[in-house]
């Protein structure tokens, strides 16, 4: 029997992936290094800052063994700037995600270079860019506001700004619908967060699917025409080949 969940990740799954992101903490107690599946952590020595996965940071925070340093974009000033970018500079598209840094450029085992993406780049640590929202911004801010609201300055204002940013981006997502068409042309979703994707995926794919079904007759006609052109071209090519063969013999 088919898997009953809709395609794509559920919000809970997205949040689970987000817990792998690195965040910066200030430990309040010593802790020896831990051997985790994702690698060993450095020994925690107060008051040295360390980067830890979010889930461990939240665990230590709950046990009052550490304080979390919120990422630079989770401050009132940064969020105000982002909101302004979102409303003034990018009126039709989403504001840009943090630009890939030089650290993110790595080479794989064959020597081909690629850009590492979340969670292998640090987009939520204290060294992140302040004026761009990372891929996991929504889940990260929700979890931090929930577990470590006393580490965030002015949490109520931050919460309110986050809600504003979210509303603005939701409205943009809705406008994308009018740009869609059934002829296989997509739309750009640069800078959209993981949770926003999980939220709108069902609707957007539904619209695209519906448009494709209505437009099926035209698509069929186009495909037939392309097939025909390809056949014609192949026929002509074969003719050329024959001539060449004749010349050779």
Partner 1 sequence: MSYYDVDAILTDSQKLPCTFELDVPGLGYLEGNVGGMVKAGTKIDLPMWLGIMLAVSTGNAPDSSQLVTLDFPTPLQQRVINALKADPRTVDLRAQAPHFYALGARIMELFDDTAVLDTLINTFKMRAAEIADQAHNPRGALGDGAEFLRGLDETERQLFKAAHEGPKAVRAWTQDLKKIT
Under the rule (CB under 8 A), what is the footprint of partner 1?
6, 10-12, 15, 62, 142-143, 146-147, 170, 174-175, 177-178, 180-182, 195, 198-203, 205-207, 210-211, 213-218, 220-221
Q: Is 154 left (phi over 0), alpha (psi -120 to 50) or beta?
A: left
Report the C-alpha gap between 94 and 27 in whole angstroms. 36
Q: Which is nearer to partner 1, 218 or 223 (CB)?
A: 218
Q: Which is nearer to partner 1, 45 or 221 (CB)?
A: 221
How near is the Cβ of 16 to partner 1 at its closest, in Å? Answer: 10
Q: Which is nearer to partner 1, 81 or 142 (CB)?
A: 142
How near is the Cβ of 135 to partner 1 at its closest, in Å? Answer: 16
- Which residues face 39 on adjacent strands? 36
- The token duo for 49 is 């800052």
Cis peptide before 119 (omega within 30 of 0): yes
User: What is the rounded (10 degree) CA torsion for 211, 217, 221, 226?
Assistant: 40
CA atoms within 13 A of residue 233's CA, in its CB half-sphere: 6
How near is the Cβ of 213 to partner 1 at its closest, in Å? Answer: 5
Question: Which segments of the chain does DSSP mark as H helices, in order?
Answer: 11-18, 54-62, 76-84, 137-147, 155-179, 194-214, 216-248
Q: Which is nearer to partner 1, 77 or 183 (CB)?
A: 183
How near is the Cβ of 214 to partner 1 at its closest, in Å? Answer: 5
How near is the Cβ of 111 to partner 1 at its closest, in Å? Answer: 41
How near is the Cβ of 26 to partner 1 at its closest, in Å? Answer: 21
Q: Which is nearer to partner 1, 49 or 166 (CB)?
A: 166
Q: Which is nearer to partner 1, 12 or 110 (CB)?
A: 12
Report the C-alpha gap between 119 and 17 in whole angstroms. 8
């Amino acid at each position: 029997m088919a898997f009953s969940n809709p395609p794509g990740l559920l919000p809970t799954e997205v949040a689970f992936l987000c817990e792998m992101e690195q965040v910066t903490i200030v430990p309040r107690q010593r802790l020896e290094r831990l051997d985790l599946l994702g690698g060993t952590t450095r020994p925690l020595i107060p008051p040295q800052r360390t980067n830890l996965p979010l889930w461990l940071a939240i665990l230590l925070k709950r046990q009052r063994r550490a304080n979390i340093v919120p990422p630079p974009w989770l401050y009132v000033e940064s969020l105000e700037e982002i909101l302004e970018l979102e409303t003034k500079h990018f009126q039709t598209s989403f504001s840009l995600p943090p630009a890939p840094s030089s650290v993110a450029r790595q080479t794989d085992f064959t020597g081909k270079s690629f850009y590492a993406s979340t969670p292998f780049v640090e987009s939520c640590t204290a060294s992140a860019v302040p004026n761009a929202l990372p891929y996991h911004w929504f889940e990260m801010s929700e979890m931090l506001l929930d577990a470590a609201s006393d580490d965030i300055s002015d949490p109520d204002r931050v919460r309110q700004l986050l809600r504003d940013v979210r509303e603005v981006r939701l409205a943009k997502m809705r406008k994308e619908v009018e740009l869609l068409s059934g002829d296989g042309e997509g739309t750009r979703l640069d800078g959209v967060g993981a949770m926003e994707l999980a939220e709108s995926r069902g609707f957007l794919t539904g619209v695209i699917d519906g448009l494709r079904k209505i437009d099926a007759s035209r698509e069929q006609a186009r495909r037939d025409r392309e097939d025909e052109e390809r056949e014609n071209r192949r026929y002509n090519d074969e003719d050329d080949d024959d001539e060449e063969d004749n010349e050779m013999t």
